[in-house]
Amino acid sequence: MGAAESVSHTSSTDWAATAVSRQRLYFDSGATRDYRFRAAQLNKLKQSIVDHKDDIEKALKADIGRPPMEAYIEIVTAFEEIKHTLKHLKSWMAPKKVSTSLWAQPGSSRVESTPLGVNFIMGPYNYPFLLCVQPLIGAIAAGNTVIMKPSSLNPAVSALLAKMAKQCFKPEHVMVVEGSTEITDELLKQQFDHIFFTGSPRVGRIVMAAAAKHLTPVTLELGGKSPTIVHRDANLKLAAKRILAGKMMNAGQTCIAPDHVFVHRDIRAAFEREIIAAVKAGYGDDPIRSPDFGRMINQRHFDRVAALIDPTKVLVGGQTDRDSKFIAPTILGGVSVTDPVMQEEIFGPVLPLLEYADLDDLYRQVRTLPKHPLALYLFTSSEEVERDVLANIQFGGGCINNTVMHVANAHMPFGGVGESGMGAYHGKTSFDTFSHSRSILKTSNWLDIPLRYAPYKDRVEMMRKMVK
């Protein structure tokens, strides 16, 4: 089976086991461990992105209606991740010296980063290129082999990733498998050394249950209802622009998009005016014609999000077109935590505005919602408010006076907490995620301290004196 070969029509039931076995043999050969090999593979992937950038843009447009600017945000982010990894890879791979305890003297201690082995990466539909390639970069950098399964909802991107993999890698090193969820199910039955999944909490539970059968470690990048808070001392015009930019990218189908906004009651009316103006400035009076706005992935998700729009609470937007899977950038006002739109992650271009009286009222409302959001965004000029909010709300990561941009910093880990995920990646954290930190103690032979050997005689008294 070639790297780009689809297995959706195979009659064999052992193709998945064969693919994993082939990669395990290749990993056991030691071929992936050398720095020069890893760097060469990353450079091949980097050049492939350059060669196929127009194809990636077209595939993203075909699968999810991605505007060109948003497509290139996805492409450039992956490209920059490879550059960052190549720049630092040699130092990441180097053993790290650490102190040695009294008991092991004379000796030395070090921590080595060793590859995990055969990895399974499962990509989502919302950023189908970036969120497959980013974990792949970390896995290759750490010296692993990879079987990747892109989302079946993105046939154009999936086919392109398979083509790129076939051009860059041996299938026993990196293999992209196309096909339906049945293909995924077969792969989940296999014993991997690590599974990396990006998607919904519902599917995350399925992945974790399958991994538990083999005690396979997992990284789960999930989602949740990420709150945004606009305090009364915020720069409202800037807050409205930045919240809207984070929310409406990819038509709201972003795991770290602002899901809803808590606005301090003293500035609610003023903020509503600013965000309505921002919607009209960004997408015009007829947003279906905007070249800068995407579409829902399919009609099932269109129907789900469209049903969350309460016409009596629409401040701006609300237009829909099922045939083209279009939902206009929509702002809802006067929303409460008990409204239907607040009972699930929206994952679409609908932004509810809620009101809070003070920080205690804010925390009370936040705690009625699903716990542990993937992101949180706070707009305030007060460091005291910043400290208070960060101390009282748990979340994966976020921004002060901005939205979503923390995800673009390769120097920081990205991941969830609780139901929004486990584990993290990006930059060095990706390398660590796909590595095992192995401790090595080396003791000298020229001196042998008899302290730990029996008979102990009077050494117990000496030990007692050490604890005081």
Look at residue 463 in the predicted model and tell me its pLDDT: 82
Look at residue 357 in the predicted model and tell me its pLDDT: 98
Say which CATH topology domain 15-222+422-440 has.
Answer: Aldehyde Dehydrogenase; Chain A, domain 1 (3.40.605)
Rounded to a whole number, what is the distance in angstroms from the first to the last CA of the chain?
66
Give the global pTM: 0.94
Identify whether the C-beta of residue 315 lies closer than 8 Å to the C-beta of residue 278: no
Closest CA to 165 of 178, 155, 154, 152: 178
Look at residue 261 in the predicted model and tell me its pLDDT: 98
**Residues of the chain where predicted confidence (pLDDT) is lower than 50:** 1-11
Look at residue 12 in the predicted model and tell me its pLDDT: 54
Partner residues linked to 399 by β-bridges? 377
Look at residue 103 in the predicted model and tell me its pLDDT: 80
Look at residue 11 in the predicted model and tell me its pLDDT: 41
Domain made up of 227-415: CATH architecture: 3-Layer(aba) Sandwich (3.40)
Query: Would you please indicate which residues are annotated as catalytic (active-site) residues?
Result: 221, 255
Tokens of 217: 């470690």
Domain boundaries, the chain: 15-222+422-440, 227-415
Closest CA to 194 of 27, 399, 79, 332: 27
Burial of 457 (0-12, 13-18, 19+ CB in 10 A): exposed
Look at residue 450 in the predicted model and tell me its pLDDT: 80
* Nearest-angstrom CA–CA distance, 120 and 16: 11
